[in-house]
Amino acid sequence: MGFFGKLCGGEKKKEEERFLRANDRPFNLSQQYAKNAIKTAKYNIITFLPRNIFEQFSRLANAYFLFLLILQLIPQISSVPWFTTAVPLILVLAVTGVKDANDDINRHKQDKQVNNRMVKVLINGELREEKWMNIQVGDIVKLESNQFVTADLLLLSSSEPLNLIYVETAELDGETNLKVKQGLTVTGEMGDNVELLSAFRGEVRCEPPNNRLDKFKGTLTIDGQQYGLDNDKILLRGCTVRNTDWCFGLVIFAGPETKLMKNSGKTMFKRTNIDQLMNILVPCIFGLLAVICAGLTVGHSIWEGNQGSTFTAFLPRKPGVGIPLSSFYSFWSYIIVLNTMVPISLYVSVEMIRLGNSFFIDWDRKMYYPNKDTPAQARTTSLNEELGQIKYIFSDKTGTLTQNIMTFNRCSINRKNYGELYDFYGHRMEITEKAQRVDFSWNQLADPKFVFHDCNLLETVKEGNLEAQAFFRLLALCHTVMPEEKREGELNYQAQSPDEGALVTAARNFGFVFRSRTPESITVMEMGKKVIYELLAVLDFSNVRKRMSVIVRNPEGKMTLYCKGADTIIYERLHPSCDELKEVTTRHLNEYAGDGLRTLVLAYKDLDEHYMQRWMDRHHKYSTAMEGREEKLDELYEEVEKDLMLLGATAVEDKLQDGVPQTIEQLAKADIKIWVLTGDKQETAENIGYSCNMLREEMTDIFIVASNTADGVKKELQNARRKMCPGAAEEPKVIKARAGLLWRQKTQTVQDEAVEGEYGLIINGHSLAFALEKDLELELLRTACMCKTVICCRVTPLQKAQVVQLVKKYKQAITLAIGDGANDVSMIKAAHIGVGISGLEGMQAVLSSDFSFAQFRYLQRLLLVHGRWSYIRMCKFLRYFFYKNFTYTLVHLWYAFFCGFSAQAVYDDWFITMYNMVYTATPVLALGLFEQDVNDRWSFHYPQLYSPGQLSKFFSKKAFVHIVMISCYTSLVIFFIPWAAMHDAVRSDGKDVADYQSFALLTQTSLLIVVSAQMFLDTNYWTAINQFFLWGSLAVYISVTFTFLSNGLFFMFTSSFPFIGAARNCLQQSNVWLTIFLTCLLSILPTAAYRFLLIQLSPTISDKVRYKAKEEGQPTPAPYRPPARRVSTRRSSYAFSHSRGYGNLVTSRKFLRLRKPSSLFNRKEAAVVETQPQFYRTIAEETEESHT
């Protein structure tokens, strides 16, 4: 904080610990905690004008033109009218101001929409509807199902048993499966009793606001008793309450201090690579201008001293104006005369071209998604050409690459493979939307959204096939899904894992409908018949076991164990009689894995009554043991899960968005590297990597970094790097340089290292946290950049931004981040280009993005077509603009040697005024808006056309120097050819031709024809608009010239139109036209010859494709090939997504509202099925209490 802030008492100490009291607003206000209102807008009504003008004049070019305008208001200096600078400057400021105002109005609307959401708050003993912005730390709020969480809350009580609540965290971590949060029992007893909640005076001490989404530490003190608080008891802003009637929460962090906002990252002002280059070139041009003017000033002093005295009889000096003062005036006069080296019209034209290319993106029907009526949108108009230079893409997974939809795709039952379609000849057919679907209308409880195409499976089940029915019976029984049936027949499955939901839904449609559960039973409708199974035990999932089992007793008294899990785990526990079936099933699993499907193997075992009685006794004993409980239970599970009988396998598809693999393949051909940054678990991210063809079994190696220590991460990264590049130096070579305005910015670049073979890298969030530290970040970068594919899983939003910033810092490459949720906002803001997908996770990513659309596949059109065209157009525009203006300006330099360095302009005043604003404005605009080397179809056909943009080949410092050299040559020709031709020339009547006015007209006419001819050479794609503007500008020049040099205007405005009759007298001479022709020929011929030889001897890929397009017209469409069948021995290694212990919850008596109490056998199984509330405390809770 600055001095004035301290003086006014505005300094706020860094918060080390948060202390708050429930229902005590005066105390909490005294702590100066942030309120719940958020502000992302930049201006308000009062600050907009001064702040925006200040920001615009902080740009060097605008400040320079303001200074130039002030000079032009001084009559002793200026030889050019002031309005030639004032009008364009005002236009630039106005256009930029309107654009900034519009962007900020949208931010204000977004803030207002969020801040004005309503929520119920407990105030003075009653619930009131309040706006989010009025919520304060320490308030108790009530949330209902499907409501957004208002702030970061401590869960107090809920409508669900065991004080549970279900939340969807898609905007935080990208996962759409529901999470379970559980409040303290002591606060849960308050329920929804408003009196008890109003009287609640708990005190919370916890960590200060931070960005760690997965950690929370604190204590709650109630009546002197302390209770531990962890992340499972906290509801974070950005979550959505699901399947919970109501809950109450205590506000811990509000507004900008919430973990979501802490992860949002700062909004950065983004400039394109070309803008940054211009910031270097413009000062260089100013320096060149100053040097030229200084040289001409010296020439003026010498001329005045040697020759000036002889002219005083004709042009007497003004009193008091000697040679020094005259030279001083001459310097500033030349600054004004030569200012067209960087005319302000350049910036006007750049903004108009960017705006036009943004409209082309908005209007592109091929990027319109009709299913959601969502067009592509360029949310910023200043970054278009940057889209043509992308080197790294950072993509979210869930909702960006995938659809957030799990579908039951295929299965293997008793040696038969189901889920594929075959034609009459037995050939495999591709399944499309038009393919015939299985009719489930016979099943009244079927899910109407479920789609399956193989009718053979339904026929097999209906025929009473025992193996098929046992298969779906297992899927209906072995899970932790909770059913919700608000109306008869309308089932809604509440699955913590979307995979389990897909499997249970499949069983439901094939006649085995999971209807309801109690802690002791599961009710299933089997082919229309109600069957109640007694649930004896749930053998829960863990990451080590990678399987889950249930033990049930059917109505006939037969006990069966049903098990599902990873194939390698289940195969080890199969009975030897299953070897032949295992071999066939493995073959099917290989096919499923080759298609990128997530696989499970199903098995069962019939159990003996006497053995199970003894087993249940031991189960009860071990589940209540104080020490080694989990180890003993695992041993017990191992004992019963043996000699299983194989039923088959399932294949679930995590549905990709349409065209994702093809898009990734196209972008890879364009030499764009794609990194996936996801909050999802490793197995899921890895599986999607294979589905998208980013990971392939043909890769030389795939490295997995999963260490939990810094040393371990360093070792794993070094081992991977050494394997990929054995000869590489241990320490990276960092090239340090300077860049930016006046070379004040220091850059560090790590060069790419050559690697033989293709490699992949998978790193989890814990390891990434160590790898992003200062001493390991370069090791991470080197290793990752050697790999073809990089997948970072279980990463926080802030880590996503850190990865992007790491690449930006050391690679000096253009980056793009694409995502669809609030968890992607930080990386979208951090990247050079941010793209938001309007998907299932809200609009946070879209509102923070630079470009948005509805499907990932549109990214290839955005980059390979619009991005590449925008880059080509901007580069051609700048090259041509500098060419025409340097040529125009340098003619004044050569003329200075013939006019006594008097700062006299060589052209007519009206030509000076209209050259950039009228005569050459529209043709160059048409070039910047419509130019394309090849059409969009050829751009897709040859993605390699994108590569020159990544290397900045079309506009660079080298290209700029080349343009200046050509302009010098052209200006010399334009000045000296007319001067030499007309110096001693006479008209047919014997009078001189070479007066000043005729020479000026001849020179400016030659100049305009030359730059128009250069435009003709630069244009590859001609439209009617290009033709109209080019020929129209020449026509306007001719008509304006004859009008302004006419007798009539001279007699009306003698001082403003002094060139009377010059056009009529000059242009009727044949030698004048011959001079113009010779000037144009000598100016254009070298450039045309150079380009011709370059294309013949060293053609670029663009030249080759253009030639091919000219020969063939449109590219031949690639013959359609159905997806190749791949067979893979790799598995998704996926079992379930829920966390350990959830199986105990679903068997807990308090988890469900029961009408009739019952028991498993004649004794309680474990503490979790006790009916007393005090036994439902979590382990963390009990641990905290034991210390107090």
Angle between helices 921-930 and 996-1018 (to 10 degrees): 10
Is the Cβ–Cβ distance between 982 and 993 less than 8 Å? yes
Residue 482 has a CB neighbour count (10 Å cut-off) of 20
Pull the structure tokens for residue 291: 């040097």
Residue 230 has a CB neighbour count (10 Å cut-off) of 14
Q: Which of 819, 859, 854, 818 is nearest to 943 (CA)?
A: 859
The 3-state secondary structure of 503-527, one letter per residue: HHHHHHHCCEEEEEEECCEEEEEEC
Length of the chain counted residue by residue: 1188
Is the Cβ–Cβ distance between 1033 and 1009 less than 8 Å? no
Its sign, for the CA torsion 100, 103, 108, 111, is negative
The rounded distance, in Å, linking the Cα atoms of 568 and 1131 is 9
> How far is residue 467 CA from its own chain's centroid?
48
Distances (CA, A) of 687 to 351, 821, 1029, 1132: 44, 21, 55, 5
3-state secondary structure of 377: strand
Sheet with 833-837, edge to edge strand ranges: 377-378, 851-853, 833-837, 814-819, 390-395, 673-677, 789-793, 759-764, 701-705
726: Cβ contacts below 8 Å, ≥ 6 apart: none
Could you please report the per-residue DSSP string of 610-639? HHHHHHHHHHHHHHT-SSSHHHHHHHHHHH
Q: Residue 468 — left, alpha, or beta (φ > 0 → left; ψ -120 to 50 → alpha)?
A: alpha
Helix or strand (DSSP H, E) at 251: strand 246-253
**Residues forming a β-bridge with 412:** 417, 649
Q: Which of 555, 516, 564 is nearest to 534 (CA)?
A: 555
CA atoms within 13 A on the CB side of 950: 20
Q: Exposed/middle/buried for 995, CB within 10 Å: 0-12, 13-18, 19+? A: middle
Is the Cβ–Cβ distance between 343 and 885 less than 8 Å? yes
Alpha helices in 992-1116 (DSSP H): 996-1018, 1024-1044, 1047-1052, 1062-1066, 1070-1097, 1101-1112
Its sign, for the CA torsion 1143, 1148, 1152, 1156, is positive
**Residues forming a β-bridge with 179:** 167
Q: Which of 252, 256, 194 is nearest to 220 (CA)?
A: 252
The rounded distance, in Å, linking the Cα atoms of 271 and 276 is 7
Question: Is 396 noted as a catalytic residue in this protein?
Answer: yes
**Residues forming a β-bridge with 421:** 429
Number of H helices, E strands in the chain: 42, 37
826: Cβ contacts below 8 Å, ≥ 6 apart: 263, 264, 265, 797, 798, 800, 801
Is the Cβ–Cβ distance between 1054 and 964 less than 8 Å? no
**Active-site entry in 139, 173, 364, 396:** 396
Pull the structure tokens for residue 258: 């919430």
Q: Which residues are catalytic?
A: 396
